Structure 1
Amino acid sequence: MNPRNRNLLIAIIVVVIVAVGGFFALNHKGKSNQAATQKTVTVGIMSGNKQEQSIWKTVAATAKAKYDLKLKFVYFTDYNQPNEALLSGDIDVNAFQSYNYVETWNKAHKSDIVSVGNTFITPMHIYSKQLTKLADLKAGSTVAIPNDPSNESRALFVLQSAGLLKLNTTDVSKLVSLTDITENPHQLKVKEVDASQTPRALDSVAISVVNYNYATAASLPKSESIFMEPLNKASAQYINFIATTSKQKNNKTFKEVAKAYATKATAKEMKVQYPDGGEIPAWNLKL
């Protein structure tokens, strides 16, 4: 080969090698920068609710696709744990509670947990294995209700809405207890149990007021629901939400998590997980 042509060929090969090397180096750098800029948000949810976990997987996919967010989940078994973890900084946000619950929690713990976006609302139901309608309830029957302050208050208002007793107020924003019962025409015997045990209590009581998440976890059939809590303006306090601390309430990334939740994809997955319509999207709910 002519020396001049050989040198030209070598020069071309060197240029090609440098160009290819530069392309791969630039591509690798781009991927590295993308990985470095991807944000991770740690979300606390309850471990016992498989339906909610499926819904949050849908939210995670939306968050990654629309906001380049990675959601990392931490699972809890007790209702006190997610807020404690939030206040200690072990998680960024949590999603398990309603507004009336957090109001009671904040007062009791002198904390400042706030909302960055609504998620859903689940009406309470009165269930029974003995009755098919409330009109068949016998005098002196026993009713089970949750024993924590916020859910007990809500359950008592449900019983009032069902016409089974009267309280000293109709203002559901007020926290009531058994001492606020003014009329009990059926002489109901009220049994206070842990909220998670209200479905199991149906084996020994005539009726039980059950939170929807516990009804679902216990696979209570819809046919055993004989009354559903009415939804109105006062129900706003029962809406669930994504929570963080007041210092982080304007955190753009946390708000993006809420936006990723408030989508048609999430609503569609809710229908899949709760075909009976017990869980209702609340981000655009008109009460």
Structure 2
Amino acid sequence: MKKLGLALITALLAVAVIGCAPKNESKTGQEKTTLKYGKAAGPYTVLFEEAVKPILEKQGYQLEVVDFSDLLQNDTALNEGEIDFNVEQHIAYAENFNKSQNGNLVPISPIPTVPAGLFSAKHTSVESITDGAVVAVPNDASNTARAYALLQKAGWIKLNPDVALGTVKQSDIIENKYNIEFVEMDSLNIPPALDDFDFAVITGSIVYNAGIDPSTAILQEDILEHLVLQVVVKEENKDTKWAKDIAAAYHSDEFKEYMKKNNTGLWFVPEELQ
């Protein structure tokens, strides 16, 4: 009887453990085929849905989208395990999130990226700059740095060469020969206010969301490695089969063919994806 009682208890415990398995885990974390991804407004998830999702579905994956109003909410959900991955950020943003939010996010593959550009409603070339011009730049750390790097490329300012280009701030400008007035502001607010400035630096996702023709950029940035967009997961999932399959889909011949047919100048495609 004692043996029978122990066997019954063991069986009940096994059932309880199975019943407590996470709902998103149809299989183990390594083998699961139902994946949730975070979506915020921008071109990167749209590209994923049009070009990569079909590849994964052919392999038997089921993809479920969760919409967020901004990238911070998206990353918070990813960090807390509510979603499995997103394709909305570059390395610099992920690193800033990890530092400020005690996060544990890692990139697993680069993806095509829309470069930041210099735009104007009043001028058509960098040579049109005049003394005292007012220039809008994004106010978040990673994009502020890329904006000043772009303005240095335009020949308007000179940055401290001892400071890494990916971390420069306005205080790192050592030469401002046109006495430019810089207005640092939320990226989302720059396109509607474009008429208020002589020039403005607008990042790729904002260009897309605002419906701006990227070919109207006066100058585009040379994308630094840490500003290339990435597939991002929690560190504990980076070696799972599903994470590797997502990365492989972006490197596949099918995806390369899609980009050849559909890239009309919006996208910078990393060399390893070409």
TM-score by length of 2: 0.81
Structure 1 partner of 2:267: 279
Structure 1 partner of 2:137: 145
- Please, which of 33, 46, 67 is the counterpart of residue 53 of structure 1? 46
Aligned 8 A contact 2:35 2:61 in 1: yes
Structure 1 partner of 2:242: 253
Report 1:90-109 matches (<5 A). 90-109=82-101
CA drift of 1:284 comes to: 0.8
Structure 1 partner of 2:36: 42
Report 1:214-233 matches (<5 A). 214-222=206-214, 224-231=216-223
| Residues 28-74 of structure 1: per-residue CA shift (max 9 Å, x gap) | xxxxxxx989711111121x236742542331111011x21111111
User: Secondary structure in 2 aligned to 1:121?
Assistant: coil
| Residues 201-257 of structure 1: per-residue CA shift (max 9 Å, x gap) | 3110010001112112212234531111124xxx11111111111111111111112
Structure 2 unaligned residues grouped into runs of 5+: 1-25
- Please, which of 45, 57, 70 is the counterpart of residue 64 of structure 1? 57
The 2-side partners of 1:135 and 1:151 are apart by 24
* Aligned residue pair count: 246
The 2-side partners of 1:214 and 1:147 are apart by 13
CA drift of 1:110 comes to: 2.5
Worse-matched range after superposition: 247-256 or 163-172:
163-172
Amino acid at match of 2:267: E
Residues 38 and 252 of structure 1: CA distance in aligned 2, closer, same or farther (over 3 Å): closer
| Residues 154-183 of structure 1: per-residue CA shift (max 9 Å, x gap) | 111111111111121375454121111111
Amino acid at match of 1:281: V
User: Secondary structure in 1 aligned to 2:188?
Assistant: helix
The 2-side partners of 1:274 and 1:218 are apart by 19
Worse-matched range after superposition: 55-64 or 130-139:
55-64
Structure 2 partner of 1:75: 67
Amino acid at match of 2:39: I
Aligned 8 A contact 1:55 1:270 in 2: no
CA RMSD of superposed structures (Å): 2.4
Answer yes or no: is 1:167 the counterpart of 2:159.
yes
Amino acid at match of 2:56: A
Structure 2 partner of 1:195: 187
Q: Which has the larger radius of gyration?
A: 1
CA drift of 1:267 comes to: 4.0
Aligned 8 A contact 2:207 2:214 in 1: no
Residues 84 and 108 of structure 1: CA distance in aligned 2, closer, same or farther (over 3 Å): same
TM-score by length of 1: 0.78
Amino acid at match of 2:54: A
Amino acid at match of 1:60: K
The 2-side partners of 1:250 and 1:197 are apart by 39
Aligned 8 A contact 1:85 1:91 in 2: yes
| Residues 98-133 of structure 1: per-residue CA shift (max 9 Å, x gap) | 011112221222222101222122221101111111
Aligned 8 A contact 2:111 2:273 in 1: no
Aligned 8 A contact 2:136 2:197 in 1: yes
Residues 50 and 211 of structure 1: CA distance in aligned 2, closer, same or farther (over 3 Å): closer
| Residues 57-99 of structure 1: per-residue CA shift (max 9 Å, x gap) | 331111011x211111112221201110011111011110001
User: Secondary structure in 2 aligned to 1:114?
Assistant: strand
Structure 1 unaligned residues grouped into runs of 5+: 1-34
Aligned 8 A contact 1:153 1:177 in 2: yes
The 1-side partners of 2:91 and 2:255 are apart by 21
Structure 2 partner of 1:10: none
